[in-house]
């Protein structure tokens, strides 16, 4: 396989004006999510953080038009089509339930939860509404990992290759 020819980049949607509502204004949102949204030309509709000053700082830095007062306000806003959740894992379930109740799709930072039972309830809260969800895992669009997923035909083979790759990249 020619590594240079590998088609590893994500396929961008035809529409890029869906309103993204962000919950959490921490390191990963400032260093990764928002720079990527900016690069892709996505529409960030607003942001909420339990620490208002963090949300305000991020909003000013990335020209986000509104800071929400609460999660309830964020999920209810008609300009928010999809919710991006990037908070400590202990907070995910409550937020997922609120987003799911509003019938909106969401993107959730890993880890989903800190224990299996909470993770199971979190998935249940999402699937109950039949909405799409994505859990962000490490570097899913990195060339190496994408390549691994093509190499290994069998699951065990892929896992082995992935482990080898992670050891190498660390």
d(C-alpha 33, C-alpha 76), whole Å: 22
Restricted to residues 112-151, the positions that interact with ligand NAD (CB under 6 A) are 136, 138
Q: Which region among 37-45, 49-57, 125-133, 144-152 touches ligand NAD (by CB under 6 A)?
A: 49-57
Of the residues 8, 91, 123, 147, which one makes contact with ligand NAD according to CB under 6 A: 91
35 binds ligand NAD, rule: CB under 6 A: no
Rank residues 35 and 88 by Cβ distance to ligand NAD and give the closer one: 88
Cα separation, 153 vs 155, in Å, equals 7
Q: Which of 20, 22, 23, 75 binds ligand NAD (CB under 6 A)?
A: 23
Q: In what order do the strands lie in the sheet with 43-48?
A: 43-48, 19-23, 82-85, 106-109, 133-136
Q: Which residues contact 25 (CB under 8 A, 6 or more apart)?
A: 47, 49, 51, 54, 55, 57, 58, 59
Using the rule CB under 6 A, which residue among 79, 110, 120, 128 binds ligand NAD? 110
Q: Which residues of 67-100 are buried (b: 16+ CB within 10 A; e: fewer)?
A: bbeebeebbebeebbbbbbbbebeebbebbbbbb
Report helix angle 143-151 to 155-169, nearest 10: 160
* Number of residues located near ligand NAD, criterion CB under 6 A: 21
- Taking CB under 6 A as the binding criterion, the range among 59-67, 82-90, 143-151, 154-162 that sits at the site for ligand NAD is 82-90
Of 75 and 87, CB closest to ligand NAD: 87
Closest contact distance (angstroms) between CB of 55 and ligand NAD is: 8
Minimal distance, residue 153 CB to ligand NAD, in Å? 27
Interacting residues toward ligand NAD by CB under 6 A: 23-29, 48-51, 54, 86-89, 91, 109-110, 136, 138
């Amino acid at each position: 396989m020619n590594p240079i020819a590998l088609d590893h980049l994500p396929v961008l949607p035809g529409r890029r004006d869906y309103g993204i509502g962000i919950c959490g204004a921490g390191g990963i949102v400032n260093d990764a999510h928002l720079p990527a949204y900016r690069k892709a030309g996505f529409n960030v509709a607003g942001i909420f953080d339990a620490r208002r000053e963090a949300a305000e700082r991020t909003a000013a830095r990335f020209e986000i038009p509104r800071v929400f007062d609460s999660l309830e306000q964020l999920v209810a806003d008609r300009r928010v089509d999809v919710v991006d959740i990037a908070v400590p894992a202990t907070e995910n379930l409550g937020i997922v339930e609120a987003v799911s109740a509003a019938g909106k799709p969401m993107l959730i930072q890993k880890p989903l939860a800190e224990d299996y039972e909470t993770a199971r309830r979190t998935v249940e809260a999402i699937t109950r509404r039949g909405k799409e969800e994505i859990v962000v895992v490490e570097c899913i669009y990195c060339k190496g990992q994408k390549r691994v997923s093509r190499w290994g035909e069998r699951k065990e083979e892929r896992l082995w290759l992935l482990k080898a790759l992670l050891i190498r990249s660390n």
